[in-house]
Amino acid sequence: MTNLAHKETTTPEISLREYQEWTANTAAYPQSNTGRIEELMYLSLGMSGEAGEVSNCIKKLFRDQDTPELRANLSKELGDVMWYAARLATALDVDLTEIISMNKAKLEDRMARGVIKGSGDNR
């Protein structure tokens, strides 16, 4: 896999489960660790905002020159999306690894049935 960002420092690899657990250390928002609708709303809005920043980085790659610096910034914003995904999974009391495994199984089933393309959640 291509490394999109130039690593400024070497960081040790971490599993999804370890990362999900670690995010609790940086969860400083109202209703954190409650699983209440307010927490779900906060996390969903945060994820949407960060996804918008990812899109904005891609817009700049398209509009401006595609540079390693812009790609590194894109990677950082994608990391923020991952933080919100991990916190949302925690608020739902679901393991992020389980979510990814379920998604993989769903997509493999669609590929096997020849419906990977198309629209609708239940195809």
Can you tell me the distance from the alpha carbon of 38 to that of 48, in angstroms, rounded to the nearest whole number?
A: 15
pLDDT tens, residue by residue, 46-63? 999 999 999 999 999 999
pTM for the predicted model, two decimal places: 0.84
* Position 4 pLDDT exceeds 70: no
Of 2, 6, 1, the residue nearest 76 (C-alpha): 6
pLDDT tens, residue by residue, 84-95? 999 999 999 999
Q: By three-state DSSP, how is residue 33 classified? A: coil
Of 56, 19, 55, 42, the residue nearest 91 (C-alpha): 42
Q: Which amino acid is at 94?
A: V
Q: What is the architecture, at CATH level 2, of domain 16-94?
A: Orthogonal Bundle (1.10)
Degrees to nearest 5, angle at CA 41 with 46 and 103:
75
Can you tell me the distance from the alpha carbon of 101 to that of 108, in angstroms, rounded to the nearest whole number?
A: 10
Gyration radius of the chain's alpha carbons = 17
**CB-based contact 61:41 (threshold 8 Å):** no
Domain ranges of the chain: 16-94
